[in-house]
Chain A
């Protein structure tokens, strides 16, 4: 199984800040990684797939990258609607696995 270790578990930031979230895979997940945003009481929303491809309609301030087995979600110029919990998910092999989540809070 591929374990996904996500960090940090929480981050406090202000509107306009740049936020970076990292997921480390326990072994190669190739490029098969997605990022989701979840707000309280709502279902998750797919933001990025294949490590760096932005889903249609997702603002360009969101971006994804990969280096080895490390995957990064970057939010440039944080907006009020971006305060949420973010999850990574590997889609390389079953069982599909998620990172533990990162809560982006208002400073």
Chain B
């Protein structure tokens, strides 16, 4: 059974940092592209970042470029999102999501981890 489990969310002050993790199981993690997608409270979905299966290709939304860094450790079946210079508008539930058939649709999602940026 495919499982994605996020962790690392919490309350952080504006300007602070946080590192999210996503533990994958039930599939060959090293062969799948992965993404982070977020959802602010009561709002719609926003794609945040993409990483290829090898980690060699990365993309970011303009809203997080230069502040967030996506990475992965295929030996540990884990995906990460390092978030720096956090702003109030980064407050959201962050989901990790697996690419479907290498086409940038998302067929499996984690349960999400809430990041709250507030003083």
Binding site for B on A (CB under 8 A): 32, 34, 36, 38, 43-46, 49-50, 55, 87, 89, 91, 94-101
Contacts and interface: CB of A to CB of B under 8 A. Distances in A.
Q: Which A-B residue pairs are the 9 nearest by beta carbons? A: A43-B109, A91-B104, A96-B47, A34-B105, A94-B59, A98-B45, A101-B44, A49-B105, A46-B107
B11 interface: no
Contacts of B61: 95
Contacts of A98: 44-47
Interface of B: 35, 44-47, 50, 59-62, 95, 100-101, 103-107, 109-112
A98 B44 CA distance: 8
Nearest to B60: A95
B109 A32 contact: no
Contact of A96 (B100, B104, B110, B112): B104
Given A43-B111, A87-B45, A97-B47, 6 more contacts: A43-B110, A46-B100, A46-B105, A55-B107, A91-B103, A95-B47
Contacts of B104: 32, 91, 96
A95 B101 CA distance: 18
A36 B35 CA distance: 16
A49 B103 contact: yes
Nearest to B45: A98
Given A43-B95, A98-B44, A98-B47, A91 B105 contact: yes
